[in-house]
Structure 1
């Protein structure tokens, strides 16, 4: 198996976003952003040192026009600029939502309002914001079956679930949508289509900031924690950036403070959370290069494929691992094989005369040097299997890209990025495993208690 990693490669992957060389094009004079900034200024927001720009590596974002010191406030967006369920309930749509039983969810209320505002065009009070929202997304909910089939196993299932969930939301919303007919001069079925709901759902899912709202008697009991934040949502994600963000109840503004600061003419970033690239692709439709949280997941199906025919009492061992919650969050990462994965492999590597040690293995107990060598070998076999599967997916992507249109090419590009990142991790993990030729017994001291599975990993 080849490798694209090593110490130099790992250092390169762990560079901060601020160190990535990127070319920027000022978008301040673009008519869409002129109108957006004018509209925001009328609502009390005016950003003089963060301007919209297009970056060669991340697309559009916000560029600092002066050096921002650490802990400084970089954005303070007045409440009037935020689009929340309260905005919707106070609008022309509010009375229809308040009368509808059973109550609609906060997400559906925001989605239906976004679709309506986009349809109203020049008559919309939110037109400057609606105009700068993406016209489409690269989230899996937009993917065809062929593209979803190129995703890793567990992510593939989540992608199908995401797509089915949006379809179910659309079906369940039809009756409510028809009640809105008096608001429009054309049939609502032509406005609130499945494509429109998919767009609105992605806009809410990818662009809202976390903001808790009081429970409304007019909405369902689902938590209402969403706020669309014009301009602020142009800030891109960087996993190494630290920010402090939240709604300031005293000033009635949503504020973002940069912990590290930002240099002049550099892109300012947010951090959406310590998410791995699979989570970023599923929820936001992109992959972060060099993501320090990136891992390659091992599914029970991978264990079945690699070991069912060669591991003694494989089915019983798998049931034991499942019973003790050791079949989830098994990963290869930037530091090689995770503790959870190696623990699972140590149990699979036990011979019949060592079965009394099963529970001790999960607690981190050493069994024998021979057992440890077998578990490292199982890790190598598993890593090679994932490498091969990843390589096959990359070859299929390469073939599909040849005749792909622009939309399909964008979708394939984000899946390809995920697979390339995984290939780097697997290559480095293989190097680590090869270095373990001198067997080292597992350390009991570092193992968490089996009674606390949430701390394992």
Structure 2
């Protein structure tokens, strides 16, 4: 599962506020748009007796268990006829245009164009009951303003900028294809397939689709693994929940089976995967509280800035790059990550002792002086990151005083990310300032003038 969101944007859950001790819910099943959605799905063979759409005080829109769901019980079974896939698109009025276009469109582009065209049709669209319950906007980085991007952590900032640029390129590079669709539209194509419309569709597919492998198609280019799943995509993520989800080739349904079960009237959750907070924010536009997978990333640029006094730093960084040790450097509430500490121990080595790098990779600790330097450098990195978090939170507070609701929702997500980051860094610093590690064996390494003091 790739994500959810409520009509006004998922961030409106006000994650800045403390989580309520008692979660309350209001059923949405009698609202017109959900009545139409269920009628639409029932006509396609779907029946749901266990779940109903509801609004929850802690997560916003989700699915509520009408009956207690036992461990191992089938939570939801959505027929193939209810899934929106590239087969749906190729069998539609768009099929002829896509099949005749060269170069072949990607599956993602085909789905995005279909969503935009169907939304353009309004109530005349066969898929209107589904499109009507999709969020009007999203809180993933493709929607972020420049001010919101600026208060992200550096690594997330780069990835957010890449996401925004990817959407702009998808729009700009396919203008000729869009113009070929003019006979299908009642308005000029430039007014329908706008960059903003394509962004909405791109986020709808990227955040809400389930993984479903499809056979290769001569009309499309690239891997086809998307399926939009109405009603099923109302299920929210919780890190500690376990489910089994896949398309059943026998029943021809996309099925989700609960591993732990759900009590009656409680929200039913699924798990999108063991994603850290940054990944959830970047891919799905939300931050999950109490996420055991949460980490804070240490960028190579920060590492170089902290160690800029080392005359042989360039050679050491080159050495780490060649051995793939400058990626996924993290700290968590349980301390500095293994990859980070290993990189720091390697950085503490003078060039004359590079022959020890394999021993370091195997977990052996350097002499006390270099081990102490590694721990101290980790503390410095945490302090720098913590200061950056405090500065960002101050800027967010100022921005919240003067922004409109859509930007406020974006800032709510980033503020939650930064607050969690601050807690993780504080916990990590406490551990680093505790008693030093007492190894059984130290590697023998003599002082060297190249090492950072």
Query: Residues 233-274 of structure 1: CA distance to partner in whole angstroms, max 9, x if unpaired?
Result: 000011111111111111111000011111111110111111
Kindly provide the CA deviation profile for residues 49-73 of structure 1, in whole angstroms up to 9, marking residues without a partner as x. 2000111111100000111011100
**Contact 2:53–2:62 at 8 Å: present in 1 too?**
yes
The size of the alignment, in residue pairs, is 424
Rounded to whole Å, the distance in 2 between the matches of 1:112 and 1:286 is 25
Q: Secondary structure at the match of 2:132?
A: helix
The structural deviation recorded for 1:20 is: 6.9
Task: Report the counterpart of residue 447 of structure 1 in structure 2.
Answer: none
Residue 260 of structure 2: aligned partner: 260
Q: Residue 163 of structure 1 corresponds to which residue in structure 2? A: 164
Instruction: Assess if the C-alpha contact under 8 Å between 1:75 and 1:257 holds in 2.
Output: yes
CA distance in 1, matches of 2:70, 2:96: 46
Contact 2:287/2:413 (<8 A) preserved: yes
Residue in structure 1 matched with residue 238 of structure 2 by the alignment: 238
1:185 Cα offset (Å): 2.2
1:212 matched to which residue of 2? 213
- Following the alignment from structure 1 to structure 2, what is the Cα–Cα distance between the partners of residues 443 and 264? 56
Deviations 1:68-103 (CA, angstroms, capped at 9, x unpaired) = 011100100011100000001111111111111111
Distance 1:355 1:124 in 2: 65
Work out the CA distance in 1 between the residues paired with 2:108 and 2:316.
Answer: 43
Partner of 2:283: 283
Cα distance in 2, alignment partners of residues 272 and 20 from structure 1: 24
Change (3 A) 1:351 1:88: closer
- Stretches (4+) displaced over 6 A: none
Work out whether residues 372 and 440 of structure 1, in 8 Å CA contact, stay in contact via their aligned partners in 2: no
- Counterparts of 1:168-247 in structure 2, within 5 Å, are 168-220=169-221, 222-247=222-247
Q: Give 1:264-413 correspondences, 5 Å limit.
A: 264-309=264-309, 311=310, 313-350=312-349, 354=353, 356-413=355-412
Q: Is the 8 A contact 2:20 2:57 kept in 1?
A: no
Q: Deviations over 1:129-169 (max 9, x none)?
A: 00000000001011122211111111111111111111110
Per the alignment, in what secondary structure is the counterpart of residue 60 of structure 1? strand
Deviation at 1:128, TM superposition (A): 0.4
Query: How far apart are residue 190 of structure 1 and its match?
Result: 0.6
- Using a 3 Å threshold, how does the CA distance of structure 1 residues 194 and 442 change in structure 2: closer, same or farther? farther
Give unmatched runs, 5+ long, in structure 1: 1-17, 445-457
**Unaligned runs of at least 5 residues, structure 2:** 1-18, 443-453
2: CA distance, partners of 1:22 / 1:315: 53
| 1:432 aligned partner | 431
Match of 1:68 in 2: 69
Which whole-Å deviations, capped at 9, do the CAs of 1:342-384 have from their partners, x for residues lacking one?
1111222346775553443233233212221121111111111
Residue pair 2:243, 2:259 contacting (<8 A) in 1 also? yes
